[in-house]
C-alpha cells in the first residue's frame, strides 16, 4: 500500500480525518482537487474591498462553548472576536425602524416558532419547515423567522426542508470569529504536518479490495490505501464527479439525493463617501417579511470597514448567481434603497463589489447540504461505514447536531478516521464506539 488511509478532500472534514490518522501514528495522504486547503472555509483578500480579509464561505465558530475548533484556536493562541457582543441589531417594518413593542414581539418570535415546531413534530414524524409558520398564521413575525431559518440559515426554501432535521441541528451558545478569517485559521492551524496533494482530484475509487483495500485513481497517478475517507460535498457526489467501483449501494445514493446542496451568496458593496446610513459599526439590519418573501439581512460596516455585506439564500440565491454579479448587486442595492432612499446610490456609486459563487465551483456545487422533508435520518445513513469501515463518507452533510458548519465537518472527519483506524487495526471488523462530540 502507498498509505494506510487516503482522504478525498482537504476541507475541514478531510483535515479533521487526516489529523486523527496522523495522531494515531498511521500514514495518511490527502487528495485535494483545488489549489488550497479549507474547502468552504476560505479567506480571501479581494481588491474590490480594499484588500482586507474576507471570508468567502464559512464565518463563525458556532456554539463556541462546545466547538472543537475553538479549543484548537485557544490552545494555539489565536485571537477570537465575539461577534454577538460587538454586533448592533436594527429591524425595520416597511421603511421605518420597528417600535419598542414590535421589537418585543420579534424577540419572542423564535421561541414561539420553536414551540409550534415541537407541537407539530410531536404528532408527525416529519414535516416541511413551511408548515410551522402556517400553523401560527396570526403571529406577525412567523414569516420573518421562517425566512431566517429557511433560506438564510438552511439555504433552501422552507417547503423543501425537513423540520425534523432543522430541529436536530438547532444550535445554542455563542458565535466567535477568528481574527483574520476562518479560512486563514484553518490553513494556518489545521494543516501542519499533513501530506496534502493539491490539484489532484480523485476520479475513480475502487473499493472493497482484499482486506478492504481501496485504490484511488487521480489525474496524477494511483494511490492504494487500507481505507478511504471521502469528504466531498453531496453536490459533487450527486454529479458523479468521482466514480465508484463497485457502484455505491442504493442506501448511499438515496442519502445523497435526500441531502441536496442549498445555496447562499454574499454580496459586498463598498462605499465611496463618508455617509454611513446613520448606522453604527458592525450593525446588522433585517426587516419584517411576508410568507415566501425574500429577506436579505445586511451586516453594515463590519469591524469598522467601508462596506456592507448582504446574505441571500435559497431559490433567489440560485437565480441571482446565474444572472451574474451585476444582477445580484442591483438586487441588494434595491433592498437598501427601500430602507435608506437615494443616498444609497450616491454612497455606493463607483465602489467595489463582490459576489460569491459557490454554485459555480465544480469541487463544491453549492453552499452546504439541505435536507428534504421525510429524510431526517439521511445524515446518519450517509455516515454509515461501508466495506467493514474501509470506505467512509464524512463532512458537514454527515453530521448532527452541527450540520452545515465547519465544526460538523471537522467532527465528522474525526469520527470517520476513528472507524477507519479501528477497521485497519482489527482486520476489517467494525464495532461502533461513542462519538467524539457532545
Cis-peptide, bond into residue 345, ω within 30° of zero: no
Overall average pLDDT of the 206-217 stretch: 96
Confidence of residue 435 (pLDDT cuts 50, 70, 90): very low
**pLDDT at position 436, please?**
42
Q: Is the pLDDT of residue 74 over 50?
A: yes
pLDDT tens for 237-246 read 999 999 999 9
pLDDT tens for 260-287 read 999 999 999 999 999 999 999 999 999 9
Q: Is the pLDDT of residue 432 over 70?
A: no
Overall average pLDDT of the 214-241 stretch: 97
**pLDDT at position 427, please?**
62
**pLDDT at position 77, please?**
83
> What share of the chain in percent tops pLDDT 70?
97
Q: Is the pLDDT of residue 352 over 80?
A: yes
Q: Is the pLDDT of residue 430 over 70?
A: no
Overall average pLDDT of the 214-233 stretch: 97
Q: Is the pLDDT of residue 437 over 60?
A: no
If you average pLDDT over every residue of the chain, what do you get? 95
Q: What domains lie within the chain, and their CATH numbers?
A: 3-38+190-259+376-426 (3.50.50.60), 84-173+262-360 (3.90.660.10)
> What share of the chain in percent tops pLDDT 90?
93
pLDDT tens for 132-184 read 999 999 999 999 999 999 999 999 999 999 999 999 999 989 999 999 999 99
**pLDDT at position 319, please?**
97
**pLDDT at position 234, please?**
98
**pLDDT at position 431, please?**
43
pLDDT tens for 301-344 read 999 999 999 999 999 999 999 999 999 999 999 999 999 999 99
**pLDDT at position 434, please?**
42
Overall average pLDDT of the 206-229 stretch: 96
Amino acid at each position: 500500500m502507498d498509505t494506510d488511509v487516503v482522504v478525498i478532500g482537504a476541507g475541514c472534514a478531510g483535515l479533521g480525518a487526516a489529523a486523527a490518522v496522523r495522531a494515531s501514528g498511521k500514514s495518511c495522504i490527502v487528495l485535494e482537487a483545488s489549489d488550497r486547503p479549507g474547502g468552504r472555509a476560505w479567506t480571501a483578500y479581494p481588491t474590490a474591498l480594499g484588500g482586507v480579509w474576507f471570508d468567502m464561505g464559512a464565518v463563525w465558530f458556532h456554539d463556541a462553548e462546545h466547538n472543537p475548533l475553538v479549543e484548537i484556536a485557544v490552545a494555539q493562541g489565536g485571537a477570537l472576536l465575539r461577534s454577538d457582543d460587538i454586533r448592533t441589531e436594527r429591524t425595520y417594518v416597511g421603511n421605518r425602524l420597528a417600535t419598542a413593542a414590535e421589537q418585543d414581539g420579534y424577540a419572542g418570535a423564535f421561541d414561539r416558532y420553536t414551540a409550534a415546531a415541537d407541537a407539530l413534530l410531536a404528532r408527525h414524524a416529519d414535516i416541511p419547515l413551511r408548515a410551522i409558520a402556517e400553523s401560527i398564521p396570526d403571529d406577525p413575525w412567523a414569516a420573518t423567522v421562517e425566512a431566517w431559518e429557511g433560506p438564510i440559515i438552511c439555504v433552501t426554501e422552507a417547503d423543501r426542508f425537513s423540520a425534523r432535521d432543522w430541529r436536530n441541528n438547532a444550535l445554542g451558545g455563542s458565535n466567535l470569529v477568528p481574527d483574520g478569517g476562518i479560512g486563514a485559521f484553518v490553513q494556518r492551524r489545521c494543516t501542519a504536518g499533513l501530506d496534502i496533494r493539491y490539484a489532484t482530484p480523485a476520479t475513480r475509487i475502487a473499493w472493497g479490495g482484499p482486506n478492504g483495500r481501496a485504490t484511488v485513481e487521480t489525474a496524477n497517478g494511483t494511490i492504494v490505501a487500507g481505507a478511504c475517507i471521502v469528504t466531498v460535498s453531496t453536490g459533487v457526489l450527486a454529479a458523479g464527479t468521482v466514480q465508484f467501483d463497485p457502484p455505491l449501494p442504493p442506501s448511499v445514493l438515496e442519502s445523497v439525493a435526500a441531502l441536496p446542496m442549498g445555496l447562499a451568496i454574499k454580496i459586498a458593496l463598498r462605499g465611496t463617501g463618508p455617509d454611513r446610513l446613520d448606522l453604527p459599526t458592525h450593525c446588522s439590519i433585517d426587516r419584517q417579511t411576508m410568507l415566501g418573501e425574500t429577506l436579505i439581512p445586511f451586516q453594515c460596516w463590519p469591524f469598522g470597514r467601508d462596506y456592507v455585506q448582504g446574505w441571500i439564500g435559497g431559490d433567489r440565491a440560485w437565480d441571482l448567481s446565474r444572472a451574474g454579479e451585476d444582477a445580484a448587486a442591483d438586487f441588494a442595492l434595491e433592498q437598501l434603497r427601500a430602507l435608506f432612499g437615494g443616498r444609497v446610490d450616491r454612497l455606493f456609486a463607483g465602489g467595489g463589489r463582490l459576489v460569491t459563487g459557490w454554485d459555480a465551483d465544480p469541487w463544491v456545487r453549492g453552499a452546504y447540504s439541505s435536507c428534504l422533508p421525510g429524510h431526517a435520518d439521511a445524515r446518519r445513513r450517509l455516515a454509515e461505514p461501508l466495506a467493514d469501515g474501509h470506505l467512509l463518507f464524512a463532512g458537514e452533510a454527515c453530521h448532527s447536531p452541527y450540520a452545515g458548519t465547519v465544526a460538523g465537518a471537522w467532527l465528522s472527519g474525526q469520527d470517520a478516521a476513528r472507524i477507519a483506524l479501528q477497521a485497519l487495526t482489527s482486520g476489517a471488523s467494525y464495532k461502533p464506539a461513542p462519538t467524539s462530540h457532545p
